[in-house]
Structures are given as C-alpha cells and as structure tokens.
Amino acid sequence: AQSVDQPDAHVTLSEGASLELRCSYSYSAAPYLFWYVQYPGQSLQFLLKYITGDTVVKGTKGFEAEFRKSNSSFNLKKSPAHWSDSAKYFCALEGGGSNAKLTFGKGTKLSVKS
C-alpha cells in the first residue's frame, strides 16, 4: 500500500518569506515523487519530480524539493515567495510498475499575502 501525507491543510505567509510545504510518504520500495500545483478552477500543473539521483530537484516557477529517505519526506521549497504562488499544492507518489498510478496527498492551500 502507498500513501502520502500533507500535514498542513493551510499555510499563510507574507510575500518575500521562504515557504516550505511538507510532504511525507509511505511506500515499501523506491518511490517516484511529484509536486503539482492547482490554481482555482484549473487543473493540476506539474512542478517537479524525483525519480533517482540528486536528492534536491528543481522545478518550474522557482520551486525545488528535497527527497529525504531517512524520514520519508519530500518537502517543497521556494524563496522568496510571491503572491502569485497562492494556490493549492499536491504532493504525489507513484509506486512504479506499469500501472503508474499517482497517489495524492490531501493538498496544502498556500496563501501568500502581499
């Protein structure tokens, strides 16, 4: 079984601050990990992924994430945050195999105040 936990339903910070959105996962083997962003009324947009190799991955819109096997985490970071980063962010895990389904966390709603 695979699962993703995003413990923070809401995060609010001021523009210019550093943001870090938490994500932890449970999976018995090496996971593929993703971050997606969803703006209101829109679909999910891919931000970045970790497959293997360098544990810090850089994505679109200035985001990066760090894979930490020791505590099964894949936190999303950006500095500085901008008001346009306000959206809902989803962490997802793909457990490998040919089916390649994504298991999503419940999402973190980020509000960046200008």
Taking the least distance from each CB to other proteins, the nearer of 85 and 94 is 94
Question: What is the rounded CA–CA span in Å between residue 81 and residue 62?
Answer: 9
Give the interface with other proteins as residue ranges (CB under 8 A).
Answer: 34, 36, 42-46, 49, 51, 90, 98-107
Task: Give the nearest distance from C-beta 53 to other proteins in angstroms.
Answer: 13
Cα 83–chain centre separation: 18
Taking the least distance from each CB to other proteins, the nearer of 31 and 105 is 105
Question: What is the rounded CA–CA span in Å between residue 3 and residue 16?
Answer: 32
Task: Give the nearest distance from C-beta 4 to other proteins in angstroms.
Answer: 9
Task: Give the nearest distance from C-beta 18 to other proteins in angstroms.
Answer: 25
Question: What is the rounded CA–CA span in Å between residue 45 and residue 110?
Answer: 15
Q: Which DSSP state fits 80?
A: S
